[in-house]
């Protein structure tokens, strides 16, 4: 599993940062990608990668500000000609997105050759995305904005080969039958499969935020706790907490402080204002702990199992 940043900027693109779009790469797990937000020039960003648009089957929109959705109609139109014919697409978004997309496509005489299923998101909902559990949480922003938490299913443990061999069961097709059954019979005796299985490997957890103020509610912190990767906005990096709060955004040190009571693998600060030049970014980055990173366009993070 990998997390890829197609755009890491806030509000207005700059020469070095496009606005927010992310890819959760689950090709190894599901042979597809999850797209989170669709900023302007999304198609061009994808062309600079090896991502195949037809393999994007689930899109999660955090909120309806333009810097998070202006690239969506163009992407949808191009996907129709890039292997997407007949491949259903699911779009999860706050109320209003479906109306806007359909109006845009209709006005521009754009026609799709695949079905779109729109799922209207609300607070504390849970979705199934081809086996991944996805939870939504309403954030604190000027308009309705959401956190999406992606939870991979646990991976079943391997069979205890040596234990089976001691019974006289050698490796072969019967091992597959055992693994797929609650019980199995051998030499006239019935055994519980669980006694011959190693513990499952816990699925990975990725928490991706839309625009928001810092939230200290216990329910929110419990939801984010244990994430292998947290992606949180840090429109402000340099101590302007009051200004961030005024404009419904977050300041980096306040996010760090808020997460000091929970466990997580890596924390990426993104949605960074274009006020900061590269020299400032480098200076701030050098002060961060090893597991905290400032996002940049085309950054790629591998999320290993047991990454915490």
Residue numbers in the known binding site are 63, 65, 67-68, 141, 211, 271
Three-state SS for 87? coil
What residues are designated binding site for Zn(2+)? 63, 65, 67-68, 141, 211, 271
Buried-state track 140-158, b at ≥16 Cβ within 10 A, e below 16: bbeebbbbbbbbbeeeeee
Helix (H) or strand (E) holding 108: none
Mode of pairing for the β-strands spanning 264-270 and 227-233:
parallel
Q: How far is CA 166 from CA 116, 136, 163, 177, 192, in A?
A: 53, 48, 5, 18, 16
In DSSP terms, which residues pair with 164 in a beta bridge?
none
Residue tagged active-site, from 25, 67, 182, 297: 67
Q: Is 67 a catalytic residue?
A: yes
Per DSSP (E only), the strands in the chain are 2-7, 21-26, 32-36, 56-60, 89-93, 116-120, 126-129, 132-138, 146-151, 183-186, 189-192, 205-209, 227-233, 264-270, 292-294, 300-302
Residues acting as catalytic residues? 67
């Amino acid at each position: 599993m990998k997390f890829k940043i197609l755009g890491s900027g806030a509000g207005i693109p700059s020469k070095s940062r496009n606005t927010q779009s992310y890819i959760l790469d689950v090709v190894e797990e599901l042979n597809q990608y999850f797209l989170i937000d669709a900023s302007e020039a999304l198609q061009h960003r994808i062309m600079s990668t090896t991502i195949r648009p037809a393999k994007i089957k689930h899109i999660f929109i955090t909120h309806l500000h333009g810097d998070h959705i202006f690239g969506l109609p163009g992407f949808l139109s191009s996907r129709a000609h890039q292997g997407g014919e007949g491949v259903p697409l699911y779009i999860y978004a706050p109320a209003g997105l479906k109306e806007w997309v359909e109006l845009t496509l209709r006005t521009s005489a754009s026609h799709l050759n695949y079905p779109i299923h729109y799922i209207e998101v609300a607070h504390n909902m849970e979705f199934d995305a081809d086996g991944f559990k996805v939870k939504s949480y309403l954030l604190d922003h000027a308009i309705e904005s959401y956190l999406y938490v992606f939870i991979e299913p646990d991976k079943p443990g391997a069979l205890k080969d040596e234990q089976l061999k001691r019974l006289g069961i050698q490796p072969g097709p019967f091992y597959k039958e055992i693994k797929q059954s609650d019980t199995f019979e051998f030499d006239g005796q019935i055994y519980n499969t669980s006694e011959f299985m190693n513990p499952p490997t816990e699925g990975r957890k990725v928490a991706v935020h839309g625009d928001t103020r810092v939230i200290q509610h216990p329910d929110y912190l419990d939801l984010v706790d244990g994430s292998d990767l947290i992606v949180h906005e840090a429109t402000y990096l340099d101590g302007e907490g009051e200004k961030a709060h005024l404009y419904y955004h977050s300041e980096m040190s306040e996010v760090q402080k808020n997460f000091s009571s929970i466990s997580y693998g890596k924390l990426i600060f993104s949605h960074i204002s274009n006020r900061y030049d590269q020299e400032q970014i480098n200076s701030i980055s050098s002060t961060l702990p090893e597991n905290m990173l400032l996002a940049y366009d085309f950054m790629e993070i591998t999320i290993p199992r047991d990454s915490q």
